[in-house]
Amino acid sequence: MKEYVIDAENMDEKELNRTIKEQAISHDKIIINNPESRHNICAGLTEDVEIEINGSAGYFVGTMVNGPRIHINGNAGWFAGDNMTEGELVIEGTAGDGAGQGIYGGTVLVKGSTGSRTGEIMKGGTVIIGGNSGFMTGLLMMGGKLIILGDVTDDVGESIMRGSIYVLGEVKSLGKNAVMQEAAPEDQNELREILTEYDFELSDADYKNFKKIVNIQ
């Protein structure tokens, strides 16, 4: 595996992203040190490359990517993984509002908690939150799977059209056009397959306790 290490300490956002794109062409893995919460890291990246970010990222990390596998050893700001079409974004810490906003495919995983509007207007793909999520989670959702292992606050699934929201913890209130039901056995099997891949260890009882939120139809 060909690796390239970037020390981002003295780079601005444009120089950092230019370097990432240039080196992604000829390397299998890029390690970014000292990201210092810069915004737009890896924006528009389309190479099939592994990215490891050692530290926290700012707004729009992994926005509009198609293919890379990005791993953040820290936290992320608003709109992590925004409009991803293919790839993977794993955040070891927490993320701000709008994590997984508008994704068409791929997977966004936040191991900690997120802010509001998680998975809003997502069209496909999978968003997994290991902790809690804020208000209007799944706002205007059009497709895909949104999985919350913790609690969710107000107006979950506000104006949801398609797709499914799965919540293991408590749901404070549902949004307009949303209805909550028990996860069927086939849903539980699918959740087990997805979560096991990302090393979540849940019991059979946990999978039976998942609640499924969909369009009221």
DSSP the chain: --EEEEE-TT--HHHHHHHHHHHHTT-SEEEEE--TT-SSTTTT--S--EEEEES---TTTTTT-EEEEEEESS-B-TTTTTT--EEEEEESS-B-TTTTTT--SSEEEESS---SSTTTT--SSEEEESS-B-TTTTTT-EEEEEEESS-B-S-BTTT--EEEEEESS-B--B-TTEEEEEPPHHHHHHHHHHHHHTT----HHHHHH-EEEEE--
Considering the domain boundaries, does residue 138 fall inside one?
Answer: yes
> Residue 162 belongs to what domain range?
94-215
Residue 217: per-residue pLDDT: 83
Q: What is the largest CA-CA distance in the chain?
A: 53
pTM: 0.97
Q: Label residue 189 left, alpha or beta by phi (over 0 means left) and psi (-120 to 50 means alpha).
A: alpha
Q: Round the average pLDDT of the chain to a whole number and report it.
A: 97
Considering the domain boundaries, does residue 68 fall inside one?
Answer: no
Residue 20: per-residue pLDDT: 98
Q: Which residues of the chain have pLDDT under 50?
A: none
Considering the domain boundaries, does residue 206 fall inside one?
Answer: yes
Considering the domain boundaries, does residue 38 fall inside one?
Answer: no
Considering the domain boundaries, does residue 55 fall inside one?
Answer: no
Cα 74 to Cα 53, 77, 110, 194, distances in angstroms: 8, 10, 10, 23
Considering the domain boundaries, does residue 106 fall inside one?
Answer: yes
Considering the domain boundaries, does residue 153 fall inside one?
Answer: yes
Considering the domain boundaries, does residue 146 fall inside one?
Answer: yes
How many domains does the chain contain in total? 1
